[in-house]
Amino acid sequence: VIKCKAAVMWEANKPFSIEEVEVAPPKAHEVRIKIVATGICRSDDHVITGGMVMPFPIILGHEAAGVVESVGQGVTSIKPGDKVIPLFVPQCGECSSCLSTKGNLCSKNHIGSAAGFMPDGTCRFTCKGKAIHHFLGTSTFTEYTVVHEFAVAKIDSAAPLEKVCLIGCGFSTGYGAAVQTAKVEPGSTCVIFGLGGVGLSVVMGCKAAGASRIIAVDINSDKFAKAKELGATDCVNPTDFKKPIHEVLIEMTGDGVDYSFEVIGRTETMAAALACCQYNYGVSVIVGVPPAAQKITFDPMLLFTGRTWKGSVFGGWKSKDSVPKLVADYMKKKFVLDPLITHTLPFTKINEGFDLLRTGK
């Protein structure tokens, strides 16, 4: 058993509590990882606010990189000392999605289920005598974590962990939504709703795919300079207009956009993103995690005329196969990650990090 620091969330809408936790050794087909760097993602915050329902107490965090400390019985693909990225979308290699060339959402995932356990139904964390739940099979807000072998990818030993941790969620999710899920073509027109780290990664994906017009939409105009630096051609703040944003975008483009991306997780913007794409061949992709217990009501004529509405989890990448390749591409300078990193804080200041997230900084 390893004793270390972790940020424990004891109950909803309260700050993280830095606690000493006990981390059990890995069981068969499990891997214990020393976390070196972890990103803060809005999905973690959704658990705190109740937008994503999970059991408490819990150790959140799902975007990270680290070094393998030890492995359980039967683990052959990974050894102590390997640099790795935990995978919140696992890849078991056996379920229908893993076996299909079209899918990437392995059936062993915990998205949309409030499980909070390892695959065998138990926890590896204890604090003050209480079992602490896992989050999305990763739990990275701790100095050490335990993940299943199908939920970890071995990466280039030369990769800078404080940068490539973003490939564990934000970058891959956004970039893949454009290049993999939507399959944006050269010369096309795209709009991105929401310019956080994931939204900016969609901008990068649209640019890499050769889109000729990339419209960035956010109610925080402070985000526009960075969006332009990464490839946005136009920036629009919906609060500057009296009319609905989808009407503004249709006027700007003449006929609606080829591809729209909702990267916030709000039902209103999901509906607007669908309405602003071209009525016959437009494609709208939901990238932001939808809030729990909310429904969308929309006119089915929007789809009848030919639009495609689709979702994208982890950018459509098969995680275990793709994460090492994405890290290799980063090492070859095929894309940048530095602009996505606004602040670097010590682990004990995690609550300040979440304050920065919530204030749009």
**CA nearest to 66, candidates 169, 140, 150, 148:** 140
For residues 85 and 353, give the distance between their C-alpha atoms in angstroms, rounded to a whole number.
21
Contacts of 243 (CB under 8 A, 6+ apart): none
Catalytic residue selected from 62, 110, 134, 246: 62
Q: What strand order describes the sheet that includes 189-193?
A: 234-236, 213-217, 189-193, 259-262, 283-286, 308-311
**Active-site pick, 169, 190, 206, 277:** 169
Catalytic residue status for 169: yes
Q: Is 62 a catalytic residue?
A: yes
Please give the torsion angle defined by the CA atoms of residues 253, 255, 260 and 264, in that order, rounded to the nearest 10 degrees. 70
The Cα 182–Cα 202 span in angstroms is: 10
Q: How far is CA 297 from CA 42, 88, 200, 268, 288, in A?
A: 25, 30, 28, 10, 18
Of 307, 294, 183, nearest to 256 (Cα)? 307
Can 43 be counted among the known catalytic residues?
Answer: yes
The residue written with tokens 């729209």 in the block is 260
Of the residues 29, 41, 139, 221, which is catalytic?
41
Active site residues: 41, 43, 46, 62, 169
